[in-house]
Chain A
């Protein structure tokens, strides 16, 4: 087992552990903090998979901004105190396990590498060697994908206006 594989499986285990704890903890604050662990472990996995820039964004945007927003709302609504469990009863647990397991096996059947075509080798690492880690993603982002990128700004503006209108005290 190479070092890369050891790192990969360690952080995979951390990510899955964090996700499992996130969906089973009673307190929303504990759930949020376990989800932060999953997000950090995923950032480490992105580094292993030649996506260093995505990993930095994952930490900045997800673990830094989105989770702070979640914790802020939990604090604002005063949900941190221990209350009655919000997990569903045995029927809900059975349905969740059944459907989650079914989906998992379906995904595994479809997610074999052969279904994704024969990998052409480590093209991403090669590209990063030629153009640099940021350049490899920046070049297509600002040429081939420029219009989607600009439309994203409209989406974010709509989100800002929507959030302000919805969160206003008097609608």
Chain B
């Protein structure tokens, strides 16, 4: 049984994704780190499904569908921001800063 190691790897990947979001300023790379976090959650789901029943694997399908929808809309938003500001660096996108 690889449940414990799988959850450990999942934790490592999730923490790396969070660190990436905090570390980067490029909007597209931050978006990729969010995908990394979703994948870490998927790994935990699959690992738990191995012993606790098939529901975990089915949830992974829904996570993938939501991730695909989120990517399409998110990248469209990034494209729209780029047209406005000519940059995707979050340092220059500070309209809400006081």
Interface residues of A (CB under 8 A from B): 4-5, 8-9, 12, 15-16, 19-20, 22-24, 28, 31-32, 35, 38-39, 42, 45-46, 48-51, 53-54, 57-58, 61-62, 65-66, 69-70, 73-74, 76-77, 79, 86-88, 92-93, 95-97, 99-101, 103-104, 107-108, 111-113, 116-117, 119-125, 127, 136-137, 140-141, 145, 148, 152, 155-156, 158-160, 162-164, 166-167, 169, 171
Interface size class of B (residues with CB under 8 A): 35 or more
Q: From B89, which residue of chain A is reached at the shortest CB distance?
A: A86
A-B contact count (CB 8 A): 245
Q: Are A49 and B6 in contact (CB under 8 A)?
A: yes
Most buried by B among A35, A49, A57, A123: A49
Interface residues of B (CB under 8 A from A): 1-20, 22-26, 28-29, 31-33, 35-36, 39, 42-44, 46-55, 57-58, 60-62, 64-73, 75-80, 82-83, 88-89
Q: From B82, which residue of chain A is reached at the shortest CB distance?
A: A77
Q: Are B2 and A4 in contact (CB under 8 A)?
A: yes
